[in-house]
Amino acid sequence: MKIADLITWFEEWANPAWCESWDNCGWQIEPGVLEEEARVLVCLTPTLAVMAEAIALNANLIFAHHPLIFNPPKSLRSGEPLGEMVKLAFTHNIGIYSAHTNFDQVNDGTADVLAQMLHLQAVSPIVPTQSGLGYGRVGMLQAALTLQELLTTIQHQLNPPKLIFSPAANLQQQISRVAVLGGSGAGFISAVVKTNAQAYLTADCKFHQFQESRDQGLILIDAGHYATERPACDRLVQKFQSLNLNWVQLSQEDEDFRQFLP
């Protein structure tokens, strides 16, 4: 499959026009690879380490969740990460494409994959956007779990370096309705409360957002940005494999940019 055909297929599924006004979905760098047979390296974040990996693997497309360019750069300079990414992309003929807030909304996108990993039933978006799609997912567990069991399940499924959750007096509390949203989802707390979810799995939560959540009777669970979004990248690889691409692989150089002392 040519890169142009792959991008057409993807955009029919996750239209880049759906992205938020502050976002930058779609082509980040297109050095003239549209007619080439697709060799795709999928990653969460396009970094110089991922670019080096793409070069070593002879990939011609880095397909990323996070945009390389959020705001128009004022300059591109050698020695600076963005400038080096651009230089290497054109030197080695490697395109960089981003699917961000458009990918967040769709079935099998970032939130939907989390819902599937927790086997949520009767799932619906936390905030609907169009055609039954939207941000986040909320649904019922197959069988009620204690809070301790839910936290253990999340730890096992996502393997985050740290799992942070709201103060809870009783880890034996029964949980049946759960909301999920990969990445920075604390801004959706009020919307989650309206769904009657008892627990909310997301990332990048601040101190007072845990207070806000607790005060509204919602257990906030922060598993980290990387851990909550990386599974959707793996799912994207599987979907690309179903198209019989010549070569597609999940990046092994993707990074969680936070580290914790044991």
Is 100 annotated as ligand-binding? no
Q: Do the annotations mark residue 104 as ligand-binding?
A: yes
Amino acid in the structure at residue 159? N
Does 11 appear as a known binding residue?
no
Backbone angles phi, psi at 217, to 5 degrees: 75, 20
First to last CA, the chain: 45
**HSE of 88, CA atoms in CB hemisphere, 13 A:** 24
Is 65 annotated to bind a ligand? Reply is yes
Classify residue 244 by burial, with Cβ atoms within 10 Å: 0-12, 13-18, 19+.
exposed
Q: Locate the DSSP E strands across the chain.
A: 26-29, 39-43, 61-64, 95-98, 121-124, 127-128, 134-135, 137-146, 164-165, 174-184, 199-203, 219-222, 247-250
Three-state secondary structure call for residue 179: strand
| 229 annotated binding-site participant | yes
DSSP state of 178: E
182 closest CA partner among 128, 152, 225: 225
Number of residues assigned to the chain: 262
| Residue-wise DSSP of 75-120 | ---TTSHHHHHHHHHHHTT-EEEE--HHHHHSTTSHHHHHHHHTT-
Per the annotation, binding residues are 65-66, 104, 225, 229
Per the annotation, binding residues for a divalent metal cation are 65-66, 104, 225, 229
